[in-house]
Amino acid sequence: MYPSLKALISQTLDIECFLEKPKDRKFGHFALPTFSLAKTLKKNPPEIAQDFAKKLATLAEIININVVGGYVNFSLSDGFLQECVKNFLTPKFLKNTKEKILLEYVSANPTGPLHIGHARGAIFGDCLARFGEYLGFEVVREYYINDAGTQIENLGRSIYIAGRHLFFNEAYNLPEDCYRGEYILELAKEAKEHFGEECFESEKNIADLSVFGKDKMLEEIQANLAQIGIVFDNFVSEKTLFKEWDNTLAQLQKGNGVYELEKKIWIKSSEYGDEKDRVIVRENGEPTYLAGDIIYHRNKFKRSFDKYINIWGADHHGYIARIKAAIEFLGYESKNLEILLSQMVALLKNGEAYKMSKRAGNFILLKDVVEEVGSDALRLAFLSKKADTHLEFDVEDLKKQDSSNPIYYINYAHARIHTLFEKSHQDFQSFQGQSLEGITESLRDLLVLALNFSKVLEDSFSQRAPQKMVEYLRMLSSEFHHFYNEEKILHTENEKQILSVLKIVAQALFQGLELLGVQAKTRM
């Protein structure tokens, strides 16, 4: 609805217009602000609004025009709404850009099971991918495996020490940089089954235990993600990419992006906003952690996508300038890389801090929370606020069967509509809509809100703000529940007309939930 309405008004007024929702519903369905046009048109906003109102009055699609200061407020005609219903949720409003996006998210180190902090970025990324694909973009989901460097070696050493404790009765004394938690003991037992007890007889086997542990953890991470409906198209290994390091360094040197000092090689990241230059090769000739990320981003840009999106934890904020600098020195445009930050989550249970997992050590496992509240409730909770803001929620609230629980409230609206169809002996799928001519004001308002789905979807994706879709679904559910409680629906003269609108409402709820990765319920 919104794209066609905006195009119609822009063509009529010969301007690129922006429409917004009036703060007070009595003013109409939409408002056209004129303040930004005052300088261009050399008139004050109220004058412009009056001129625009006269031109819009010639359109059959618009009714009840009123001017308030610099705003032109108006409602939509039944005929226009009827046309919008015909095209609702069809590909006609979707972009056909064929723009290719490489979306990288999660990328947690494969040294342990996923904790609840990883889940927020995972769900955020998955939701953006779903939105983008529905809007016609080609989105590739990618997971970058940090399988090079000391963290993997430390995982192998942790398993080795656990094995010496379990099978050779040695004290279980883990060094500071080793990994803790019952999962390490589990990995040692699995390694014994795979290699035999002899793998713990010598430290020379730590390398094999490292690879074994990494592979097992990656399998578990994939299983954890599958629990919340997340799959990836690509898994890219940092270790495999290191064969490209010499060529990457040569490209940085060609771009005058590095220099040698104190037997180290530094990248000139301060030239692009970093607080200081960074070491990418140590005195011993070994590339640093940053070097691995530079290789990976060179590999990304060589694959020629139109847009690159990374979702990182908020603790990586200082890393942005370094990567952007490297991209520029490599000869690519850093503006094509968009980095989104995801804040950590504070989890409560009955108002108290959620219990840490013994299996993971000092973390709350994603798996544990999913088993307690379910994937749908968790996804909606994580998507209810902007990803870069703090999020705190109580898992007990996600179990409540009332309006305070958003997943219940939205699903209840969807299920209620299906129940109405059953009671009216109408098949929801095959039901043909009735003419909307002469519908009541309350029904028209509900329909306009439902038809605004496409605008909400585009805003949610372009602004990287899935919470806008969650807010919209809650609002649409609220408006429906209010209508349901105030109006008689079944066994009325206009029953089929009402059901025609309610089917649109249900379709908007269903599609919105599906794009959020949530299954809509038809019975509750």
Tokens of 57: 């009055």
- Of all residues in the chain, what percent are helix, strand and coil, respectively (each to 5)? 55, 15, 30
Query: 12-26, 82-96, 310-324: lowest mean pLDDT where?
Result: 82-96
- Where do the domains of the chain lie? 1-76, 106-236+343-399, 243-341, 406-516
Whether domain 406-516 has CATH 1.10.730.10: yes
pLDDT score recorded for residue 356: 84
Q: Which amino acid is at 181?
A: G
Which of the four pLDDT bands, split at 50, 70 and 90, describes residue 434? Answer: confident
pTM for the whole structure: 0.93
Closest CA to 376 of 404, 408, 344: 408
pLDDT of residue 53: 94
Contact 414, 522 (CB under 8 A): yes
What is the predicted pLDDT for the residue at 90? 61
Encoded tokens for 134: 């529905």
Within a 10 A sphere around the Cβ of 6, how many other Cβ atoms?
Answer: 17
| Pairwise CA distance, residues 305 & 101, whole Å | 6
pLDDT for 145-161, tens place per residue?
999 989 999 999 999 99
pLDDT in the model for residue 362: 80
Among 142, 116, 119, 120, CA closest to 129: 142
* Of residues 239, 344, 336, 339, the one with CA closest to residue 296: 239
**What distance in Å separates the CA atoms of residue 10 and residue 16, rounded to the nearest whole number?**
5
What is residue 310's three-state secondary structure? strand
Question: What integer pLDDT is reported at residue 72 of this predicted model?
Answer: 95
The pLDDT, as a whole number, for residue 357 is 84
Radius of gyration of the chain (CA): 28
The CA distances from residue 445 to 8, 42, 405, in Å, are 20, 35, 25
pLDDT tens, residue by residue, 443-459: 999 999 999 999 999 99
Dist. CA 150–CA 131, nearest whole Å: 37
Residue 97 confidence (pLDDT)? 62
- Closest among 451, 392, 316 to 29, alpha carbons compared: 451
Q: Give the lowest-confidence range in 1-10, 378-387, 496-505.
A: 1-10
Running DSSP on this structure, what letter comes out for residue 198? Answer: G
pLDDT tens sequence across 11-60: 999 988 889 988 888 899 999 999 999 998 999 999 999 999 999 999 99
For a pLDDT cut of 70, what percent of the chain falls above it? Answer: 98
Task: Dig out the tokens for 221 from the structure.
Answer: 């991470």
Tell me, what's the pLDDT at 18?
86
User: From 1.25.40.10, 3.40.50.10420, 3.40.50.2300, 3.40.50.620, which CATH number describes the 106-236+343-399 domain?
Assistant: 3.40.50.620
What pLDDT score does 426 carry?
95
State mean pLDDT over 389-395. Answer: 93
58-62, 399-403, 458-462: segment of lowest average pLDDT: 399-403
* Per-residue pLDDT at 510 exceeds 90: yes
Taking only the tens place, the pLDDT of each residue in 264-316 is: 999 999 999 999 999 999 999 999 999 999 999 999 999 999 999 999 999 89
Instruction: State the chain's mean pLDDT as an integer.
Output: 94
String of DSSP letters for 86-151: HTTTSGGGS-----EEEEE-----TTS--BHHHHHHHHHHHHHHHHHHHTT-EEEEEEEE--SSHH
What is the distance between the alpha carbons of residues 436 and 478, in angstroms, rounded to a whole number? 22
How does residue 4 score in pLDDT terms, banded at 50, 70 and 90? confident
Distance of CA 486 to the CA centre of its chain: 36
Given a cut of 70, is residue 91 above it in pLDDT? no
- For residue 392, how many other CB atoms are within 10 A of its CB? 10
Looking at residue 92, what is its pLDDT?
A: 42
Domain 1-76 classification at class level = alpha beta
Separation CA 295–CA 311 (nearest Å): 18
Indicate if the pLDDT at residue 116 is higher than 50: yes
User: How far is it, in rounded angstroms, from Cα 173 to Cα 178?
Assistant: 10
